[in-house]
Structure 1
Amino acid sequence: MSKFVIEGANKISGSIKVHSSKNAILPLLAASLLSSDPIEILDVPLLEDIKVLLQLLSHCGCDVKIEDGKLQITPDIKNGDINVDGVNKLRASILLLGSLLARGKKVVLGMPGGCNIGTRPIDLHIKGLSQLGAEIKLNQGYIEAKVKKLKGAKVYLDFPSVGATENIMIAAVLAEGETIIENAATEPEVVCLANFLNSMGAKVMGAGTDTIRVLGVKKLFGCSFVPIPDRIEAGTYMAMAAMCGGELELTNVICEHIRPIIAKFKESGVKVYEGENAVRVEAPDRILATDIKTLPYPGFPTDMQAPMMSMLSIAKGTSVIIETIFENRFLHVGELVKMGANIKVEGRVAVVEGVKKLKGAKVEAKDLRGGAALVLAALSAEGVSEVEGAFHIDRGYFEFEKNITSLGGKIKRV
């Protein structure tokens, strides 16, 4: 297992391009199974999660080729049995349920995995797909599903789950009749999926609002598509620059997607300048405390909670962070405390009393975003840190150490 060795207290400055969004690309890969023709997706960072889902597509029978970020998929479903290694590493594997059912396949799917950040039930996925006519049975460790013909229906989601919204959309585009998803997730990644499906000939309307309408079509066709930029990667690098006293320009950014993140940086005294598909941040002399409550979009994203906690650990004053999405998303707190942070947690509330400086230490990444937060802490800290569990970070940040080095940070993988 690799780890990062980081020499801290170096200024982070410069300019980098933000990669395409992992959380947008994963549903596109699942939806590519719906096409009757080859699919091309451009600017694809070959992250670990993307590699795993591509392996699962190959297992289904697809021909998959990727070179220099250009991904070509020739959909061919020979196998609906994907109770295999890899499924339990990846939460997004559940999206294959919708696409395989839409193609009329009997599915055997291992229970999806992913980061251990709390309970991530699939009941809304099951509820929605069942209402479209699927017969789904949960067994010990795997899911069995089959359908004669998916038919449009009205589906109300008890919670605006991004994954469930995407899964139902994917299944509904080839269903007979109209599907209406109420209390749908409004995240940019949902809009990106709708645009991809429509590029293939689907009829999806209302994505980005809480009511999505899907008119079923008989066939989808090939397309070439560029995914949206990664808003969480952008936010993470912004926090890094703010913590390390630098000035950073990020290109390939849709500022509207990071509006709640920008608002919190401004409250913290960070100067943020918005450009056309770009953003620039200037660090203050010292970050100011602010309060954060994670919420579904357009609220503050749960994926940015850990990097922001890292930043606020060296802020002037006391910050309160409330995590409303995942109950186990404070795994990084104990590791930040090892570096000198003053953080107390009670349930879903963390009280962060800022300290002037963090100190280098040996710490362990226990999930993706918490791992990134520890790297940020180590870059700003005095002395040398070791961050174990680099594989967690590789799941969501492409060329992480290369970008950090180009900006003046001292990091190496061991």
Structure 2
Amino acid sequence: MESIRITGGERLNGRIAISGAKNAALPLMIASLLTAEELVLDNVPRLADVALLKRILGNHGVDVTVSGKRSGQADFSGETVRLAAPVIVDTTAPYDLVSRMRASFWVIGPLLARMGAARVSLPGGCAIGTRPVDFFLDGLKALGADIDLDSGYVVAEAPKGLRGGTIHLPRVSVGATHVLMMAASLAHGDTVINNAAAEPEVVDLARCLTAMGARIEGAGTPQIRIKGVTSLGAARHPVLPDRIETGTYAMAVAMTGGDVLLEGARADTLQEPIAVLRQTGVEMIESNEGIRVMRNGHGIAAADITTEPFPGFPTDLQAQFMALMTRAKGVSRIRETIFENRFMHVQELARLGARITLDGDVAHVTGTERLKGAPVMATDLRASVSLVIAGLAAEGTTTVNRIYHLDRGFERIEDKLGRCGAQIERLASSS
């Protein structure tokens, strides 16, 4: 099993190109199931989850072709992925594929809307909380679907097609918003989704669906309104820059010091984390090129956060921020309100010398002047990159094991950090 070895203490200086957002690319790829015509996506990141989803979509009959970097493109330009599903050959999403990535469950919406039937395994993915599918299923029922559970599979049927309805999500859910927005695009009549997620990835999907011919209003607000159409057509759409990758590298610069331009980063998708980082003493300058992050010669000030749905502080940056706060002056308070098991990185950070105490959904982090390198184990995607951030500032060598988690969401992280001066390398499996 591969690992990453880091020798800490180096400042980061240079430029990091921000890849396309994984959390946007996955639902955009799934949207290809809604149309018999070709959907072309640009700036798709090269990630393990994207590769797995290509296999899952292929199982349903989607023809997936990929072209990489063209002459003149930047080193980290994403792939162009062409997806065409003139015929859906199978409406079953099997356990062996869906259990490996939670987002693959989202195929249930497009399959049901287009084919009137879907049989999808209950999902898997990172072990960071229950993340129930009830919101998805209740929403599909509100659109007229018959839902049953059979041997670990959700069996959904709407032989006469879905029909518009009013959906009230009991809690903000990005996944449920994606699924229901896609399903409602081909429903008969009008649909209203109340308490919808407002994340930039939801807006990105709505823009793509609109380019395909969907009629969607209100994406980015708590109420999304959809007028169903009989079919969707071809479109070409660029995946928006990854705000989580942006925040992660910004915190890496904040941790180590230095001066890095995050190329292509969009500040409008990250206003709360930017405000918090400025509280810690980091200088962040927004421009047409991206976001420039600087910390030179000054310590890190402690700050408090509470994770919340957009536009609040994203849960996907909580672990990275905790790593940063291990070196802050003072005590920071981090409250996690989205996922109940998302403090699994605490024990691994403690192996590096971090001083963290837990009280329910709150972590108190007392900053320390020194972290010391040690072997650590990644427990999930975002926790794994928090260990990288801590390792960049730790004395000596840190080895992060089980980095397959990291490869699910960060494209060539060792190359991007290495180009800015980090002493970081990927080690091949010894077994």
Q: Is the 8 A contact 2:177 2:196 kept in 1?
A: yes
Classify the secondary structure of the residue corresponding to 1:13. Answer: strand
Q: What is aligned with 2:110?
A: 99
Classify the secondary structure of the residue corresponding to 1:184. Answer: coil
Q: CA deviation at 1:399?
A: 1.2
Structure 1 residues 111 and 277 mapped into 2: Cα distance closer, same or farther (>3 Å)?
Answer: farther
Cα distance in 1 for residues equivalent to 2:367 and 2:235: 50
Deviations along 1:361-381, one digit per CA (max 9) or x if unpaired, are: 010000000000001111111
* 1:153 equivalent among 165, 169, 173: 165
Cα distance in 2 for residues equivalent to 1:10 and 1:140: 53
Cα distance in 1 for residues equivalent to 2:25 and 2:230: 24
Q: What is aligned with 2:216?
A: 204
Letter in 1 for 2:425: K
2:311 is the alignment partner of 1:295: no
Q: What is aligned with 2:74?
A: none
Q: What is aligned with 1:9?
A: 9
Structure 1 residues 169 and 251 mapped into 2: Cα distance closer, same or farther (>3 Å)?
Answer: same
Q: What is aligned with 1:132?
A: 143
Classify the secondary structure of the residue corresponding to 1:221. Answer: coil
Q: What is aligned with 2:75?
A: none
Gaps of 5+ in 1: none
Q: CA deviation at 1:104?
A: 2.1
Q: What is aligned with 1:322?
A: 335
Q: What is the 5 A alignment of 1:71-82? A: 71-75=81-85, 76-82=87-93
Q: What is aligned with 1:410?
A: 423
Deviations along 1:76-109, one digit per CA (max 9) or x if unpaired, are: 3110111142211111112100000011242221
Q: What is aligned with 1:41?
A: 41
Q: What is aligned with 1:116?
A: 127
What RMSD in Å do the two structures reach over aligned CA positions?
0.9
Q: What is aligned with 1:351?
A: 364
Cα distance in 1 for residues equivalent to 2:185 and 2:309: 25
Cα distance in 2 for residues equivalent to 1:105 and 1:399: 40
Q: What is aligned with 1:28?
A: 28
* 2:351 equivalent among 338, 343, 359: 338
Q: Percent same amino acid among aligned pairs? A: 43
Deviations along 1:182-221, one digit per CA (max 9) or x if unpaired, are: 1111110110000000000000100001110000001111
Cα distance in 2 for residues equivalent to 1:202 and 1:138: 30
Deviations along 1:305-331, one digit per CA (max 9) or x if unpaired, are: 000000010000000000000010001
Cα distance in 1 for residues equivalent to 2:244 and 2:289: 15
Q: What is aligned with 2:276?
A: 264
Classify the secondary structure of the residue corresponding to 2:6. Answer: strand
Cα distance in 2 for residues equivalent to 1:217 and 1:99: 13
Classify the secondary structure of the residue corresponding to 1:308. Answer: helix
Cα distance in 1 for residues equivalent to 2:417 and 2:97: 29
Letter in 2 for 1:7: T
* 2:80 equivalent among 70, 77, 82: 70
Classify the secondary structure of the residue corresponding to 1:176. Answer: coil
Letter in 1 for 2:38: P
Q: What is aligned with 2:398?
A: 385
Q: Is the 8 A contact 1:250 1:278 kept in 2?
A: yes
Q: CA deviation at 1:256?
A: 0.8
Cα distance in 2 for residues equivalent to 1:168 and 1:312: 38
Cα distance in 2 for residues equivalent to 1:34 and 1:277: 35
Q: CA deviation at 1:138?
A: 2.0
Letter in 2 for 1:58: G
Deviations along 1:316-356, one digit per CA (max 9) or x if unpaired, are: 00000000000100010000000000000111100000001
Letter in 2 for 1:238: A
Gaps of 5+ in 2: 69-78
Q: What is aligned with 2:182?
A: 170
Q: Is the 8 A contact 1:255 1:277 kept in 2?
A: no
Cα distance in 2 for residues equivalent to 1:83 and 1:143: 11
Letter in 1 for 2:84: T
Q: Is the 8 A contact 2:95 2:122 kept in 1?
A: no
Classify the secondary structure of the residue corresponding to 1:85. Answer: helix
Cα distance in 2 for residues equivalent to 1:140 and 1:390: 32
Classify the secondary structure of the residue corresponding to 2:356. Answer: strand
Letter in 1 for 2:395: E
Q: What is aligned with 2:99?
A: 88
Q: What is aligned with 1:368?
A: 381
Q: What is aligned with 2:291?
A: 279
Q: What is aligned with 1:53?
A: 53
Cα distance in 2 for residues equivalent to 1:47 and 1:85: 19
Q: CA deviation at 1:283?
A: 1.3
Cα distance in 2 for residues equivalent to 1:112 and 1:51: 17
Q: What is aligned with 1:307?
A: 320
* 1:254 equivalent among 260, 266, 280: 266
Classify the secondary structure of the residue corresponding to 1:279. Answer: strand
Q: Is the 8 A contact 1:254 1:277 kept in 2?
A: no
